[in-house]
Structure 1
Amino acid sequence: MATKLSLETLSALPPSVAKPSYAREALSPGIVHFGLGNFHRAHQAVYLDALFNQNEDHDWAIVGAGVFEGEKRGRDVLQAQDWLTTVVEQDQGVMDARVTGSMIDFLVPGDGAAIIAKLADPAIRIVSLTITEGGYFIDASTGRFDPKHPDIARDAANPTDPKTVFGLILAGLKARRGAGTPPFTVMCCDNIPHNGHVTRDAVCGLANLLDPELAEWVEAHVAFPNGMVDRITPATTDRERTIARDQFGVDDGWPVFCEPFKQWVLEDHFPLGRPALEKVGVQFVEDVSPFELMKIRILNGGHATIAYPGGLLDIHFVHEAMEHPLIRAFLAKLERTEIIPTVPPVPGVVLEDYYQLIESRFSNPKIGDTVRRLCLDGSNRQPKFIIPTVADRLKANQSVEGLALESALWCRYCYGESDAGTLIEPNDPNWDRMQATAKQAKSDPSAWLAMEDIYGAVGRSPEFAREFSGALRALWADGTVAVLQRYLGQQG
C-alpha cells in the first residue's frame, strides 16, 4: 500500500526513500521562482534541498509563481502534498528516490497582486525563471527582444495589471524602488545563449515602453547573472506515477523522474547575497559563456539531431532512437564534423569526453524520455540550438551538409506525417504555421527557409539553400533511412 505524500506522512514512507533532514517550519522564503515544471523541481529545487539538508541557508526557500491558467492544476497537486516532490533518479544500475521540501508555497497563477506583493517583500532576494526557450519574446531574425509582441504591448498598455512574467518582475522592482528596498537579482535558468542578458533585455525592453527612467534604473541596479543548467528531465506520465507508487511506496500526484547527472554553472553576481550552492556542486565562474555554448550546441543541438529522424521513424523513447544504428551514427558524424568544431575551448573540459558523456546520457534506457518531447517547439528551439551553428559554419566557408539535413528532417516532421504514414499530432506552439509551410516546402523547399523570423540570414544563404533543398527532396523521394544511409556513406 502506497503512502499519500504529505508532511504528516513523511515518517511513514519506506526507508528506501530519502527525506528532508530539516524541519520545514524552519524554512523562510528567499526566492520567487516562475515556472514550477519538472526541470526546476529536478534541478534548482534539488540543489537547495541538498543545501538545506546540510543545515545551511534555511532562509532561501522557494515560493512558486506562474502566469498561465494551466499552471493551477499543477499547483493544486502540489498543494495537496504540502509542496513536496518525489524526485527519482534513474540509470541502468541506479534508481533512487528522495522527497524534496525546498518549496514552501506556490502563489495562485495569474494573481498579479499577490505575486507583486511577494516580489516587493524585502525577504525575496532572488527571482528565478524556467519559462522555456520560447518565453522570452525574442525575434529570431534579430536575436533581440521584440517590443511589438502582443503580450508585451498588452503589458505596456496596462502596467498595473501585468500578465507576463516580465511585467510582474518589473512591477515588483518598481514597488521595491518606491519603498527604498534594494532590487532582487533576476536569475534565468533556461537554455538560452547568454540567458542573463536575454532576461535583462526583456525586463528593460518592457520598462523602456513604460518609463525610460525606470529602464535606466533597472539597467544600473538589477543583476542578471548568466547561467548554464543541465539535467535530462522528461515529462511526468502515469508510467512515472506508477513506478513511484509500486516501487517506492509513494503516492505522489506529480513526481519527477530524471537522470543522475546534473550540472549548474553560474556567474557569481548576487548583490543581495545568495545561498552557498557551491557546497552542493554548483560551479561559480566569472564567465559562463564557454560552458553555455558547449551545452547548447553539443547537447541541445544533439537532441535536435536525433529527435526528427526518430519521430519520422515512429520511435517512441530517446534511448530507442540511440539504439537505431543510423540515428546514432548520424549524431556522431554531425557532432564531430560540424557541431563540435564550432565550440571554442572550455576551461577544464575535453570536448570529445563531453560528447561521449552526452551520448551515454541519451542512451539511458531508464529515464523514459520521449522523442516527441525532443521534437517539441522547434520553432523556438532551432533558432537557438541549430541555426547559430549553421551561421558560424557558413561564415567560415565550411560544409553544412549535415546541419542542412537536420533542418530538412525538422521540416519533414512538421508536415505532420511519419515515413510510415502515421499522423504526427501538433507539437509546436506555431504548429499550424509550421505545418502549412512544410506542406508548401514539399514542392518548393525555399518556402521553409523564407521564414525570416526563424532562419534570418541563414535562410538566404545559397549554399545552405542548396544543401537543404537536396536533403528535403531526397527525404520525400527516398525516405529517412535511405537518406541517412547516403549521408553516412553506407550502401542501401
Structure 2
Amino acid sequence: MKLNKKSIVENKATWEKLGYSLPKYDREKVRKNTIENPNWIHFGAGNIFRAFQANVLNNLLNENKTDTGLIVAEGFDYEIIDKAFKSFDDLTIYMKLCCDGTVEKNIVGSIVESLRVDPENADYEVLKELFRKSSLQMVSFTITEKGYAVADGNGNIPAGIEADFKAGPYKATSYMGKVCAMLYERFKAGAVPLAMVSMDNCSHNGDKLKDAVRAFAKKWQENGVCDNGFLSYVEDDSKVSFPWSMIDKITPRPADSVMEMLIKDGIEEVDFVKTSKNTFVAPFVNAEEAEYLVIEDNFPNGRPKLEDGGVMFTKREVVDMVERMKVCTCLNPLHTTLAIYGCLLGYEKISDEMKDDELTKLIKIIGYKEGLPVVTNPGIINPKDFIDTVVEVRLPNLFMPDTPQRIACDTSQKLAIRFGETIKAYKNSDSLKVEDLKLIPLVFAGWARYLMGIDDNLNSFELSPDPMLEKMVPLVENIKIGDVDVHSKLEKLFSDASIFGVNLYEVGLGEQTEKYFVELIAEKGAIRETLRKYVG
C-alpha cells in the first residue's frame, strides 16, 4: 500500500475499504488534455495549495464538471517536487480534519505535472512551452508575501534582484524574475491575455504581484534586455490582469498524529521530511474543513469555472470588504486575543483555550459585541455566520495542532490592523462611542503584560519572535508585579500609533488600558482574576 498510480488502481478495493476517496476520472486522459490545452498553472507547491486549490479541482473532475487538471511549479525549494510530488506520481493524500472528530481521507489526483522553475533543468523549457499556449487562462500563486518583494523595507534592492534586472528574462535567478521570464515568453508568443492571481494571505495581494512584475518589465526594458512593448503588455489590464483575492484555510505542517493514522491503515512511506531549505513535506497534507477563497472576477482570457467548487468570484471592492471583515473582526483579532492570553495562562493549543469559559467569552464579546457593529457586510459571506464558524467549528477543532505561541509571533505588527481599525470606526461613528469598547483595551493591556515574559504563575516564558521586541520589552522591563504607579512607564508604549493604529490616550482608551494592566500585574493569579471580573 504505497501512494502511487499503480497502487490506487490495483489496490482500489483496499483503499476504498479503508475509507479513502479515490479519483473517479481517468488521470491519463486528464493529463493529456491538460498538457495539450492547459488553463491553470500554479506557482508554490506548498501544503495549502494541495489541500485547497488542488482539492477544489479534484472535486470538479470527480463530478465531471471539467476535464482539465492542474500544473504546479516550484521556484524556491526544488526538493519539494521530488519529495512530495514526483515520488508519488503527483498524488496527494488530503486528510480533512473535521471538528466532530472525524477525518475525511481523499486522494487528490488533479495535479498532472509538477515542474521546477529552474533554468538549469529541462522543466524550464516545458514551462515556457506551456506559457505560450493560448488556452492558458490563469496563473496563481501561493509563494508567501515575501515572494513578491523586489526591495527591502528601506527601498534597497537586493543584489540578486539587481542582477536579474540587468541580466534579462532568461538569466533571472530570483523567484519573481523567473515568473516574469515566463510571462515574457507569453508576450513574445503574441501577447496573449492572462490573469496572474495571487492567492497569498496578504492585503491587496494582486497589487503586490503587479508591482513586482511591473518592476521587472520596467527595468528589463530600460536596460535593453527585453523587447519593447513588454512593459505595455504588463500594464494593460485587458492583456494581463492582477485580481485581488482573499484566502482562508488553516493548513499546518504535516502532523505526527495524522502520519500515525496513515501508518495504522497500512500506508507505507508516509514519513515527512525536511528539505535543505527547512520545508516540511510529506505525501499527505492535513487541514481544517473550513475554507474560503474569494477572487476578483477579472480574467481577460476567461477562467476555469471554479465557482462550481465553492470559489467565490466578485468585484474588487467586495474582495476588500471580505478581507477587512476577516482581518479586522471575524477571525484574526480573536486569534491574537487567544495567542496573548494563551501564553500568559500556559496553554499550548488553541483548541484547549476554547474549553476555557473566560477566554471563550472574551473572544465572543470582542467579535460579536465590539467588532460586528462596524463591519461592512460584503454580501457574499455573512459576517455573523463567519464568526459563528470560527467560534463553534474552527477554533475548537481538536485536530488542529495550532499553538498560541505560533499565533503570537509578530504581534506588534498585527495589533494596528486587527484592533486599531475597529477603534477608528468607532471614533468616526455617529452612533457608537469609543469608550464603549471595554475588552479590546484588555487585549492591549494583556499584550503589555505578555511583554514582561512572566505568566500568571509568575514563571518566566519565552516570547515569540517579533521584530519589535527590542524596542517594546525595555518599556515594561522596570515594571514589577504589584506596581500601581505605571503611567510614566507605559505612556510611551500606549501612545504609539504605529503599534495600536491610534494613540490610545488621544482616543480615550489609554487610562482604561493602564487600569487593566495594573490589575493584571497585581499578584500571582491576577490575570485569571481580571478575566473573571470583566468577562465572567
Normalising by the smaller structure, the TM-score range is 0.7 to 0.9
Q: State the SS of the aligned residue for 1:43.
A: helix
Q: How does 1:467-486 map to 2 (within 5 A)?
A: 470=514, 473-474=517-518, 477-478=521-522, 482-483=526-527, 485-486=529-530
Q: Which amino acid aligns with 1:252?
A: V
Q: Which amino acid aligns with 1:218?
A: V
Of residues 282, 285, 291 in structure 1, which corresponds to 2:322? 291
Q: State the SS of the aligned residue for 2:95.
A: strand
Matched, 1:105 2:113: yes
Please report how far the alpha carbon of residue 18 of structure 1 lies from its aligned counterpart in structure 2 after TM superposition: 0.6
Matched, 1:439 2:473: yes
Match of 1:466 in 2: 510
Deviation track 1:94-118 (CA, whole Å, cap 9, x = no partner) reads 3210110222333336658755862
Of residues 42, 46, 66 in structure 2, which corresponds to 1:37? 46
Larger gyration radius, structure 1 or structure 2: 2
Please report how far the alpha carbon of residue 83 of structure 1 lies from its aligned counterpart in structure 2 after TM superposition: 2.1
Please report how far the alpha carbon of residue 138 of structure 1 lies from its aligned counterpart in structure 2 after TM superposition: 10
Matched, 1:129 2:130: no
Q: How does 1:86-485 map to 2 (within 5 A)?
A: 86-91=93-98, 92-108=100-116, 114-115=123-124, 118=127, 121-123=131-133, 124-133=136-145, 135-137=147-149, 147-148=155-156, 150=158, 155-156=164-165, 159-160=168-169, 161-211=171-221, 214-220=230-236, 221-247=239-265, 249=267, 251-253=269-271, 254=282, 255-286=284-315, 287-297=318-328, 298-347=330-379, 349-360=381-392, 361-378=394-411, 381-382=414-415, 384-396=417-429, 398-399=434-435, 402-407=439-444, 409-410=446-447, 413=450, 418-420=455-457, 421=459, 423-424=461-462, 427-428=464-465, 431=466, 433-443=467-477, 445=490, 455=499, 458=502, 462-463=506-507, 466=510, 470=514, 473-474=517-518, 477-478=521-522, 482-483=526-527, 485=529
User: Distance in 2 between the 1:485 and 1:111 partners?
Assistant: 61
User: Distance in 2 between the 1:413 and 1:154 partners?
Assistant: 43
Cα pair distance change 1:470/1:438, threshold 3 Å: same
Deviation track 1:142-193 (CA, whole Å, cap 9, x = no partner) reads xxx9753537556545544445443333222223223324143111212233
Of residues 59, 68, 77 in structure 1, which corresponds to 2:68? 59
Please report how far the alpha carbon of residue 77 of structure 1 lies from its aligned counterpart in structure 2 after TM superposition: 3.3
Cα pair distance change 1:440/1:60, threshold 3 Å: same
Check conservation: 1:14, 1:248, Cα contact below 8 A.
no
User: Distance in 2 between the 1:96 and 1:222 partners?
Assistant: 38
Deviation track 1:353-407 (CA, whole Å, cap 9, x = no partner) reads 3322210121122333333343344466556544444444455462465444434
Q: Which amino acid aligns with 1:148?
A: N
User: Distance in 2 between the 1:417 and 1:30 partners?
Assistant: 54
User: More relative contact order in 1 or in 2 (CA 8 Å, sep 6+)?
Assistant: 1
Cα pair distance change 1:38/1:314, threshold 3 Å: farther
Q: Which amino acid aligns with 1:289?
A: D
Cα pair distance change 1:465/1:284, threshold 3 Å: same
Q: Which amino acid aligns with 1:4?
A: K
User: Distance in 2 between the 1:461 and 1:279 partners?
Assistant: 50
Cα pair distance change 1:467/1:305, threshold 3 Å: farther
4+ residue segments displaced more than 6 Å:
449-452
Identity %: 25
Which has the larger displacement, 442-451 or 56-65?
A: 442-451
Please report how far the alpha carbon of residue 269 of structure 1 lies from its aligned counterpart in structure 2 after TM superposition: 1.9
Task: Give unmatched runs, 5+ long, in structure 2.
Answer: 223-228, 272-281, 478-488
Task: Give unmatched runs, 5+ long, in structure 1.
Answer: none
Which has the larger displacement, 334-343 or 131-140?
A: 131-140
Check conservation: 2:214, 2:231, Cα contact below 8 A.
yes
Q: State the SS of the aligned residue for 2:116.
A: coil
TM-score normalised according to structure 1 size: 0.82
Q: State the SS of the aligned residue for 1:32.
A: strand
Cα pair distance change 1:174/1:139, threshold 3 Å: closer
Check conservation: 2:496, 2:502, Cα contact below 8 A.
no
Match of 1:14 in 2: 15
Please report how far the alpha carbon of residue 423 of structure 1 lies from its aligned counterpart in structure 2 after TM superposition: 4.0
Cα pair distance change 1:163/1:386, threshold 3 Å: farther
User: Distance in 2 between the 1:301 and 1:154 partners?
Assistant: 41
Cα pair distance change 1:10/1:329, threshold 3 Å: same
Cα pair distance change 1:439/1:158, threshold 3 Å: farther
CA RMSD of aligned residues (A): 3.7
User: How many residues were matched structurally?
Assistant: 479
Please report how far the alpha carbon of residue 131 of structure 1 lies from its aligned counterpart in structure 2 after TM superposition: 2.7
Please report how far the alpha carbon of residue 50 of structure 1 lies from its aligned counterpart in structure 2 after TM superposition: 0.8
Q: Which amino acid aligns with 2:235?
A: E
User: Distance in 2 between the 1:211 and 1:446 partners?
Assistant: 51
Please report how far the alpha carbon of residue 339 of structure 1 lies from its aligned counterpart in structure 2 after TM superposition: 2.3
Q: State the SS of the aligned residue for 1:190.
A: coil
Q: State the SS of the aligned residue for 2:530.
A: helix
Deviation track 1:439-485 (CA, whole Å, cap 9, x = no partner) reads 22314556667988x64963687448826962795487248963465
Check conservation: 2:416, 2:501, Cα contact below 8 A.
no
Q: Which amino acid aligns with 1:424?
A: E
Check conservation: 1:234, 1:368, Cα contact below 8 A.
yes
